[in-house]
Structure 1
Amino acid sequence: MTEQIYEIRHIEGRNRFEILVDGREAGYASYVPREGNVLDFNHTVIDQAFRGRGLSLPLIRAALDHAREQGATITPSCSAVAHFISKNDDYRDLCENRTP
């Protein structure tokens, strides 16, 4: 299997993280900033042409790592983000209520 080359970027003005494959947007994770330095991750989408490649995992990980670096807590309104956290205990401390 060939290693995937992708880029993840934070588009702060659009409140989202994008994952690009070969320069093409393959998906995004969006958030809504809330009072008290809380980021509500409310939507994760991987374009149909890129599904099945596991791209949501590095996308969500990068978004949550960014939240941690900023000292923010998160609300995992998006089921994909909540599922990721339920499988990765080292991110549970970021949750506003600590149980996604």
Structure 2
Amino acid sequence: MTEIRQTNNEKKGVFEIYFDGKKAGEMTYTWAGEDKFIIDHTEVDEAYNGKGLAKQLVYAGVNYARKNGKKVIPLCPYAKATIAKNAELQDVLA
């Protein structure tokens, strides 16, 4: 069972993913003005590799952008590759 929690402030934010109640990874972002944010890092603990958790974090970021009318700049190589491979995510690109 996974749970994603978001913490956001005026300059930065993070999506943290928990697997069976334990923090398994995170995706950080930095605001670039009021209408877009930069995904700068995605990381999942090695113990949780192969479970698709990093992909869930990217989807959470995209869904947040959609719900709030924001755009995404994926500088993190993983987020950039994931969005590039999944056409349904590309509508939020800045």
Give aligned-pair identity as a percent. Answer: 32
Q: State the partner residue of 1:77.
A: 75
The CA distance in 1 between the partners of 2:44 and 2:62, in whole Å, is: 17
Opposite residue 8 of structure 1, the aligned amino acid is I
Matched, 1:8 2:4: yes
Unaligned runs of 5+ in 1: none
The CA distance in 1 between the partners of 2:6 and 2:56, in whole Å, is: 13
Moved over 4 A (4+): none
Higher strand share: 2
The alignment's TM-score, normalised by the length of structure 2, stands at: 0.90
Opposite residue 42 of structure 1, the aligned amino acid is D
The number of residues matched between the two structures is 92
The CA distance in 1 between the partners of 2:16 and 2:60, in whole Å, is: 10
Q: State the partner residue of 2:49.
A: 51
The alignment's TM-score, normalised by the length of structure 1, stands at: 0.85
Deviation at 1:57, TM superposition (A): 1.3
Aligned CA-pair RMSD? 1.2
The SS at the match of 1:15 is strand
Unaligned runs of 5+ in 2: none
